[in-house]
Amino acid sequence: MQVRQFLVLPRLPKEINNLQELAHNLWYSWNWDLVKLFIRLDPQMWESCGQNPVEMLSRLPQEKLQAAAKDEGFLASLDRVYRNYHEYLKSKKWFEREHADRTNETIAYFSLEYGLDTGLPVYSGGLGVLSGDTLKSASDLGLPFVGIGLLYRYGYFRQILSADGWQQERYVENDWYHMPVKMVKDDNDQPLRVSVDIDATPIQIQIWKVDIGVLPLYLLDTNLPENPSKHREITSVLYGGDKDMRIRQEIALGIGGAKVLRALGIQPSVFHLNEGHAWFLTLERVRGLMEEHALSFQESLEYVWSTSIFTTHTPVPAGNEKFDPVLVHRYLGKMISKMGISWKDFLALGRTIPDDETESFGMTVAALKTSAFANGVSKLHSRIARDMWHNIWPNRPRHEVPIRAVTNGVHPSSWICHDMKELYVSYVGHRYVERPEATDVWDGIEKIPDAELWRVHNRRRERLVFFARKKLREQLIRRGAPQIEIQRADQVLDPQVCTIGFARRFSTYKRGNLIFSDPDRLDRIVNNDRRPLQIIFSGKAHPLDNPGKEIIKQLVSYASEERFRNRIIFLEDYDINIGRYLVQGSDIWLNNPRRPLEASGTSGMKASLNGALNLSILDGWWDEGYDDQVGFKIGNGEEYDNVDTQNHFDAEALYTTLEKEVIPLFYDTSEIGLPTHWIARMKAAIISTGQKFSAQRMLIDYTNMFYLPAMDAGARLRQQDFGVTREVAGWVERMAASWDMIKIEDVEIPELEPTLYVGQNFPITIKVRLGEIRPEDIRVEVVAGLLNSQEQIRDFTPIEANLNGSASKGNDGVYSFRGEVQCLESGRFGITARIIPQSDTLPHTIKPKLIRWW
């Protein structure tokens, strides 16, 4: 059957036609004045459309649109919002102010999911919401970003709980023509497409654009009639299917994404991979350089390495994406065979131990090896990642493994409730929004009177309770619960009671049920006559994670017990909207993962910006964010090998902290009924989080640490039509071939007294044999410092030794280098030396195996 297709758009009166433009830019998701206009049109329809303004405008009756067009107050508000929108688009932002000479550069950001707003459900959880906050903050800063992702026909699943609390999954098809996405077309007004070979079949990929403030996000779609049904499903479900589906999705994202940028005429100077899912773009970049600039594989890879940033989020080896080499060969073998590299050498890129033929192909390993810039997402996580991937650089001290820390952050304007925003503006001004890099502005939070801050927070807690009752009632009706149980939903929770929020993915390591370790003790805590407590849970388990589902079932079972019925509830189908209500209305944000398995976590940052106090294990961001003035800790960072032991001690610490610290402080009120000590911590938490944990701060760190150095490296390597790239790649190849010939012959230390003193200096001479390597191509370093119990030098800062002259002719390339050592601390002191490559062209020379110790 043939079907002619037409796109029918709503007919908006010309007076309000600007709503159409505003609805198609995700700027609305962090602009309350604009959201208020949509709510004003029809509050019930706004909610029934999932807070999706594009769908709402298409469904509104014509008479309501006509009425709005005649409402002078509405038109005046619309005119003001529209002016603000265009002022935002045109205003000079941080990047242009600070780096005006870089505005012609482009940073391509690849992620498998983006959590931008409820009305565009192509995300599952934390990784996607982080990606969404990253793009919004990049827009606020004016960073020259372009995002690449996949457009999932069904997105992530909708959660339904059975009567006994077992999670069931339902998939709802997205209608892109009623969402804030637009199909990209070519100069002939035809859909712009690219082709990617998958399993010897050319697959067509369609491109959709999402406007996020001043920057674009391009989402790739394989659901086209021209594609075989197997491959139409590539962009059907996020995190669905088996490894075969997963590798096809990641080929579409990586290789397809690189081709999309080329088709759009966008030439990024820097590529940022948010997790290893997009690593296949590295292959397409290499292939493109080989084809367009006649570079070899190694030459192309050297350029790609110098201009790639990789962010890892997973603190356990098992959680990192790996593929069977047979599966990789099925989909990429033909491509690799044309690129001048053997299959064995290609597999070595994805193996921690290159010659281990039993090791799977690791996407994280490949990304680390082919990215000059890599980071973990908190200080603690970066330390864990350096330990975890140390074997890629086996001769480097762990603290020198090139994985740095850029702690995650959140987009404040997307998560601070509008009541709080108005309060902040009243006492701090607009600078915290307009100049997000000006972190000192947050100090002004101290000016807010306690009574005003507490009044706004109480109002948000009340709204959270009413919202939770409404959601609970809806889910009970959907389950077919008895009428008396549905009626009781209107009495659960108390707007005046201290409220804990707990919302996240339900996985065993996150321990959503830890607080139920001793139900009787929890009963006494939540039902205390004078100082009660209530808890709102929400979150999803992965469809294949039955242990995670069991935890949800256990929580629902406990919540249904008579003693907990009015104090503890579970809200099903967690999404951005539920998340907003929880972080904006909770008094306490609970997080109790098993340390050190939480890479960062960002929900606590969102809660903190709204004045909630975190009660958390010292893991992820809280390990560096905690002090006793901004929240509470569970334990002191203890780690036990036995899981049951860990759970026992952490549960005890959780109960004790609630009983002895959290609850007494909340209910400790002044003569006028204000919990002044609690409010002081609220202010301190808002200030600390605003200054240290915004996504704007995160992106400024990325810019200074990674983006700008990568841009500089790329510019150097492109000189002479990539002639510099050829030279550098040849240099790296020669260094690797000759490296085994270099040797430190001797480290000469002058005769010293048996005992030295702090501050004492002395010279050191290092004799090195370089073979065919030139002395200007290496750096000789003195490594000195205190020793640990295994006679290893602890954390140190290497000291460069300078060339002191070469040996006479015929001495086979032995050179003398001289340095100076200073004793900075008392204790057992050790000295050694090493040689590393040195290049002014590359970002750095920390390459696997290219290091020689004495």
Question: Per-residue pLDDT for 395 more than 50?
Answer: yes
The contacts of residue 719 (CB under 8 Å, 6+ apart) are: none
The rounded percent of the chain whose pLDDT value lies above 70 is 98
Q: What is the mean pLDDT of residues 613-631?
A: 97
Q: What is the mean pLDDT of residues 391-400?
A: 94
Q: What is the mean pLDDT of residues 651-668?
A: 98
pLDDT of residue 91: 96
At residue 671 the predicted structure's pLDDT band, cuts being 50, 70 and 90, is very high
Give strand ranges (E) for 521-583.
533-538, 568-571
The rounded percent of the chain whose pLDDT value lies above 90 is 89
Q: What is the mean pLDDT of residues 253-267?
A: 98
At residue 810 the predicted structure's pLDDT band, cuts being 50, 70 and 90, is very low
Phi-psi region of 557 (alpha: psi -120 to 50; beta: other; left: phi over 0): alpha
Closest CA to 141 of 76, 215, 75, 85: 215
Question: Per-residue pLDDT for 140 more than 90?
Answer: yes
pLDDT of residue 226: 95
Pairing label, strands 778-786, 829-837: antiparallel
Mean pLDDT of the chain: 95
Residues 323-334 as b or e (16 or more Cβ within 10 Å = b): bebebbbbbbee
Let me know the angle formed at the C-alpha of 585 by 669 and 656, rounded to the nearest 5 degrees.
55
Question: Per-residue pLDDT for 414 more than 70?
Answer: yes
Closest CA to 264 of 108, 421, 387: 108
Residue 387, SS3?
Answer: helix
Q: How far apart are CA 615 and CA 441, in angstroms?
A: 26
Q: What is the mean pLDDT of residues 677-695?
A: 98
pLDDT of residue 5: 59
Residues 371-382 pLDDT 10s: 999 999 999 999
The contacts of residue 754 (CB under 8 Å, 6+ apart) are: none
pLDDT of residue 7: 57
Q: Diameter of the chain by CA atoms?
A: 99
Q: Is 790 exposed, middle or buried (0-12, 13-18, 19+ CB in 10 A)?
A: exposed
Name the DSSP letter for residue 703: I
* Tokens coding 192: 């712009």
Q: What is the mean pLDDT of residues 265-277?
A: 97
Question: Per-residue pLDDT for 344 more than 60?
Answer: yes
Question: Per-residue pLDDT for 11 more than 90?
Answer: no
Question: Per-residue pLDDT for 57 more than 50?
Answer: yes
Question: Per-residue pLDDT for 808 more than 50?
Answer: no
Asked if 491 contacts 529 with a C-beta cutoff of 8 angstroms, the reply is no
Question: Per-residue pLDDT for 504 more than 70?
Answer: yes
Q: How far apart are CA 171 and CA 154, in angstroms?
A: 6
Q: Torsion over CA of 615, 617, 621 and 626, rounded to 10 degrees?
A: 60
Q: What is the mean pLDDT of residues 541-549?
A: 95
Q: In what order do the strands lie in the sheet with 814-822?
A: 743-748, 761-769, 814-822, 799-806, 778-786, 829-837, 852-853
Phi-psi region of 376 (alpha: psi -120 to 50; beta: other; left: phi over 0): beta
- DSSP for 219-262, written as a single string: EEE---TTS-HHHHGGGTSTT-S-HHHHHHHHHIIIIIHHHHHH
Question: Per-residue pLDDT for 698 more than 90?
Answer: yes
At residue 712 the predicted structure's pLDDT band, cuts being 50, 70 and 90, is very high
Question: Per-residue pLDDT for 807 more than 70?
Answer: no
Residue 617, SS3?
Answer: strand
Question: 0.75 exceeded by the pTM?
Answer: yes
Closest CA to 829 of 745, 757, 751: 757
Asked if 679 contacts 453 with a C-beta cutoff of 8 angstroms, the reply is yes
Asked if 179 contacts 52 with a C-beta cutoff of 8 angstroms, the reply is yes
Q: Torsion over CA of 126, 580, 24 and 261, rounded to 10 degrees?
A: -10
Can you give 650-672 as a three-state secondary structure string? HHHHHHHHHHHHHHHHHHCCCCC
pLDDT of residue 522: 98
Asked if 712 contacts 637 with a C-beta cutoff of 8 angstroms, the reply is no
Question: Per-residue pLDDT for 811 more than 80?
Answer: no
- DSSP for 756-772, written as a single string: --TT-EEEEEEEEE-TT
Question: Per-residue pLDDT for 265 more than 60?
Answer: yes
pLDDT of residue 756: 78
**Residue scoring higher pLDDT (239 or 729):** 729
